[in-house]
Amino acid sequence: MSLLQTTAINVFYEIANLARGQVTAHISPESWWENMQQGMVWDLDDFTVNQIGHPYQGNNYFNAGRANGLSFYESAALTAFGSATWEFFGETNHASLNDFINTTLGGITLGEVFHRVGWLIRDTGKTGKGRLWSEIGATAVDPITGINRFMSGDSSRVTEKPSDLVPASIGGVVSAGALWRGSQSSAFTGKGTPFIESDFYYGDTNVGRSRTPYDAFWLRMRFGGGSAVSEARLRGRLYGQPIGRGAVNFSVIQTYNYNTNDAYSTGSQAIDAGIGTTLDLSSRTKFWVLGWGGLTVLGAVDSLPLGVTEKPQEQEPKAGQGVSEGPRYYDYGPGSDFGGLARLTHDGRDIALFFYVGRQIYSLDGVRANHFLQQARVDLLFPLHGSIGIGTSGEYFDRRSYYQDPAHTIKTYRYPQLRAYLTWRHR
Amino acid sequence: MNRIGLCVVLACLSAAPVLAQDTPPPPTPPSKLWIVAGGASGTLRGHCQECGAEFPFRHGGAVVGNGGYRVNSRMDVGGDVFWMQWNKESGRIRATAINAVAQFRPWGSKGFFVKGGAGMAFVRNWVQTIGPNPDNQKALSVVFGGGWEFKPKGPLGLQLFAMQHVGALGDLQTANGPIPEVSANFWSLGAAIVIR
């Protein structure tokens, strides 16, 4: 059933592309055979399509598995199946290596998070209108599970939630405010840009022995602040093991990253190993810290060839809608990453946050360069009344691109960012 | 021994094997090991993004191996090794791909499986090298495919598979200068023994 639904999802996307008038949707047995003969290539699609669109499509395949009772890892394999069949048979474009990786790994990460968030929204103990709206809300987040439940009648049945989809704890902060950016050469000029950001903590990656993937994850999303979606960061625990007497916890974490700012636009899929601990500074004050390092399976970073100072305006494709002809102004390659997150909390409320991530991407496709990207951020938060508080943060972006030209050119870009915001906390 | 005693001894002796047959043997816990070893016929085709060259299909023998952990009756995870050598007019090239893979059988009792993973590939090239020694290059590797496994529930089985390995090299170094953005697709059709 899950394989059939995965194929149905591909048919749905194909019909949607046909309806949108995409030239690449005119598939035929000839295009399938040509794609199979050609094999996989790098594609030239838009950054957002590749780094957000494909992972979202992959999340649908993944949840075709989860909705039909498959485990996390079984659904992961199903995602690879859906992704590969789409690449070869869903479009006339040649099958794309970067799409296959982004759809599969990004789809697994987004898929399991959406599936779990859907089960948080869904209130299976209720009946009537309240129940219906909770099912509709969950369907908006995880459409495949939702549609399956409406079709089978599970959406109105009163049952217990599956125990493995109930988190040990949840917490989060939503902040809204303004953001001021500096530039390579000047301090903070110009007016502030509005933004909304949410940090959501599902379970605790620093606690307990875990063999249930994504029983703990951290999700950060920022809308506005320079672009529609300026940051999306997901870190889901695949494996957790206390070390020694349990004071320190080892974890394996799968991550999805998307970040666009003035210094760089980057997106990546990575697997990290992390060490974390929580220190009780007093009965009410805790210091939570997690450090990690790992492999970036595939990363993308915007990049201009040497001698080009500005990205040219995109032209309407001559070959028709949906056909990307390039040039593409970002690079693809594997790499490594490392970083840390520290939280100082008082009565469960964040008082100070520190976040750092460094990422290296070795370009295999695009401009020949080795890119090193860093981001450091400090937040200070103050409670005002009840769940409401205020906060301020300072952030610093640094980018170095080491070009593999005869002159070994190194280009750097760095800029600071300041933020002031109101917060609303959920516990 | 009197007659009654003899009857009791005979009755006990004759009952013993019957009792042994009636008591089911303790169930053997299924092995967590997953091993696959076999061979394949491989076909390779190179591709570069912008060089405009038409790369021919090349053929050669390939060796495949998997080793890892049986998660449950439908799922195995572990490592995948794929080795292939092919000859050109001017020499030979060897490629080894090492990937982390997951294999999934949607129907536990049936043999159909799909497999996918990612890792690294190593290419050792004796053709058009810059110096007298072969060029060694590393590549990003991806694998996916499927097949059919006979006797999927037993400790020893046989599988027929069709796989595609993709190696993204970046620049291919040759004596005539680097060829940019080269990727190679390896298709393989083969058979392997499965041990669980």
At A64-101, the pLDDT tens digits run 999 999 889 889 988 988 999 999 999 988 899 999 99
* Residue in B75, B168, B185 closest to A74 by CB: B75
For chain A, say whether B142 makes contact (Cβ under 8 Å).
yes
Q: Is A25 on the interface with B (CB under 8 A)?
A: no
Q: Tens digits of per-residue pLDDT, A362-396?
A: 988 888 889 999 999 999 999 988 889 999 999 99
Q: What is the number of alpha carbons within 13 Å of residue B93 lying toward its C-beta?
A: 24
Q: Residues with Cβ < 8 Å from A105, sequence gap 6 or more?
A: A55, A58, A254, A256, A269, A297, A298
Q: How far apart are CA A95 and CA B124, in angstroms?
A: 26
The predicted-structure confidence for A153-187, as pLDDT tens digits, reads as follows: 998 899 999 999 999 989 889 999 998 887 666 66
- Lowest mean pLDDT segment, chosen from A55-59, A127-131, A137-141, B188-192: A127-131
pLDDT in tens, A203-215: 988 888 888 999 9
Mean pLDDT of all residues in B7-32: 59
- Please state, in angstroms and rounded to a whole number, the distance separating the CA atoms of residues A210 and A216: 9
Least confident interval from A115-119, A256-260, B152-156: B152-156
* Two tokens, residue B71: 């998660």
Residue from A81, A73, A74, A79 nearest A104 by CA: A79
Residue A357 reports pLDDT greater than 90: yes
φ and ψ at residue A311, rounded to 5 degrees? -70, 125
- Predicted pLDDT of residue A372: 95
Residue of A147, A113, A322 lying closest to A237 (CA atoms): A113
In chain A, the residue whose alpha carbon lies closest to the alpha carbon of B145 is A81
| Mean of pLDDT over chain A | 89
How far is the C-alpha of B36 from the C-alpha of B33, rounded, in Å?
A: 10
Q: Does B45 touch chain A (CB under 8 A)?
A: yes
Position of tokens 């069949």? Answer: A85
Angstrom distance (rounded) from CA A354 to CA A394? 10
Q: How many alpha carbons lie under 13 Å from residue A419 in its C-beta half-sphere? A: 27
Of A145, A136, A93, the C-alpha closest to A114 is A145
Does the beta-carbon distance from B49 to A365 stay under 8 Å?
yes
Asked if the model's pLDDT at residue B86 lies above 70, the reply is yes
**Residue among B115, B118, B180 whose CB faces A101 most closely:** B118
Token pair in block for residue A329: 């102004």
The answer to whether residues A307 and A345 touch, using CB atoms and an 8 Å cutoff, is no
CB contact (8 A) between residue A73 and residue B75: yes
% residues pLDDT > 90 (chain A): 60
Say if residues A249 and A241 touch (Cβ distance below 8 Å).
yes
Preferred mutation among B43, B70, B185, B187 to probe A, highest tally of A CBs within 10 A: B185
Which chain B residues touch A76 with a CB distance below 8 Å? 102
Taking only the tens place, the pLDDT of each residue in A292-324 is: 999 999 999 988 888 777 777 666 666 666 666
- Closest Cα to residue B162, out of B36, B38, B40, B34? B40
**How many other CB atoms are found less than 10 A from the CB of residue B86?**
17
Q: Do A364 and B144 touch (CB under 8 A)?
A: no
ipTM tops 0.90: no
> Quick check: B104 contacting A, CB < 8 Å?
yes
Q: Would you call A364 helix, strand, or coil by DSSP? A: coil
Q: Please report the pLDDT score of residue B18 as a whole number.
A: 47
Average pLDDT over residues B75-84: 92
Helices (H) and strands (E) in chain B, counts: 1, 8
The beta-carbon neighbor of A74 closest among B104, B116, B180 is B104
B166 part of contact set with chain A, CB < 8 Å? yes
- Asked if A331 and A399 count as a contact pair (C-beta separation under 8 A), the reply is no
Q: How far apart are CA A213 and CA A398, in angstroms?
A: 33
Q: Does residue B63 surpass a pLDDT of 90? A: yes
pTM of the model as a whole: 0.86
Nearest chain B CA: its distance from A72 CA (Å)? 11
What is the distance between the alpha carbons of residues A176 and A390, in angstroms, rounded to a whole number? 9
DSSP one-letter string for A202-252:
ES-TTSS-B-STTSSEEEEEEEETTEEEEEEEEEEEEEEEEETTTTEEEEE
Q: Which of A35-39, A197-201, B52-56, B111-115 has the lowest mean pLDDT?
A: B52-56
The larger pLDDT score, comparing residue B20 to residue A264, is at A264
- Asked if residues A78 and A61 have their Cβ atoms less than 8 Å apart, the reply is yes
Contacting residues of A for B77, CB less than 8 Å apart: 73
User: In which band, very low, low, confident or very high, does the pLDDT at B7 lie, cut at 50, 70 and 90?
Assistant: low
CA B44 to each of CA A80, A91, B65, B122: distance values in angstroms, whole numbers, following the listed order: 22, 23, 19, 15
Residue B189 to chain A, least CA–CA distance (Å)? 14
Continuous segment of H or E residues that includes residue B11: helix B3-22
Q: Which pLDDT belongs to residue A301?
A: 93
The answer to whether A364 touches B170, Cβ cutoff 8 Å, is yes
Q: Give the three-class secondary structure for A327.
A: coil
The answer for A154, left when phi > 0, alpha when psi is -120 to 50, beta otherwise, is alpha
Whether residue B79 contacts residue B115, with contact meaning beta carbons closer than 8 Å, is answered with no
Whole-number Å distance between alpha carbons of A81 and A7: 9
Predicted confidence at residue A258, as pLDDT, reads 95
Question: Cβ–Cβ of B166/A40 closer than 8 Å?
Answer: yes
- Report the length, in residues, of chain B: 196
Top residue of B49, B57, B98, B120 to mutate, by most chain A CBs within 10 Å, is B49
SS3 A69: coil
Tokens 């303790």, residue?
B26
Q: Is residue B162 within 8 angstroms of chain A, CB to CB?
A: no
Alpha-carbon distance A124 to A111, whole Å? 21
Count Cβ atoms below 10 Å from residue A372 Cβ, excluding itself. Answer: 18
> Which of the residue ranges A399-408, B13-22, B141-150 would you say has the lowest mean pLDDT?
B13-22
Would you call B35 an interface residue with chain A, using a CB distance cutoff of 8 Å?
no
List pLDDT tens digits, range A115-132.
999 999 999 988 889 999
Cα Rg of chain B (Å, integer): 26
With 70 as the cut, is the pLDDT of residue B35 above it? Answer: yes
- Averaged pLDDT for residues A262-285: 92
In this model, does residue A113 exceed pLDDT 90? yes
**With 50 as the cut, is the pLDDT of residue A360 above it?**
yes
Structure tokens at A319: 């070959």
Integer Rg of chain A from CA: 22
Helix (H, G, I), strand (E, B) or coil at A260: strand
Quick one: pLDDT at residue B165? 93
E strand or H helix at B41, and its extent?
A: strand B33-48
Interface contact flag, A365 B181, Cβ < 8 Å = yes
Chain centre to alpha carbon of residue A43: 20
Residues from chain A that touch B74, judged by Cβ atoms under 8 A, are 74
A153: its two tokens: 């009648």
A365 touches chain B (CB under 8 A): yes
